[in-house]
Amino acid sequence: MIFTVTFKTPDCVQDSVTEVAIQETFNIENTDDREDKQNEIIRELKKFTEKWVRYGEYIIVEFDTEKGTCKVLGG
């Protein structure tokens, strides 16, 4: 069976990207350096996710129970 799901969560992508940036910069002691690096990571990840997530809030995925897969169809 194949079915699709559309997720609409306005802050989901932004929250996840921010969390990754915080985790990736946890060991940087200088606050200014840490914030600069976090902002750089956030910009890079937002640009990357825009290929699949329209307006930062919609994502459509397709589940295939026979193949045991899930793929992003777009946003």
What's the whole-model pTM score?
A: 0.71
Measured between alpha carbons, how far is 20 from 54 in angstroms, rounded to an integer?
Answer: 20
pLDDT at 23: 95
pLDDT in tens, 48-64: 888 777 676 788 889 99
CB–CB of 61/72 below 8 Å? Answer: yes
How many distinct structural domains can be found in the chain?
Answer: 1
Q: What is the mean pLDDT of residues 14-20?
A: 90
CB–CB of 19/41 below 8 Å? Answer: no
pLDDT in tens, 18-57: 999 999 999 999 999 999 999 999 999 888 888 777 676 7
Tokens matching residue 1? 């069976």
pLDDT at 69: 93
Instruction: Supply the range of the domain harboring residue 68.
Output: 2-74
Q: Fill in the amino acid letter for 29.
A: E
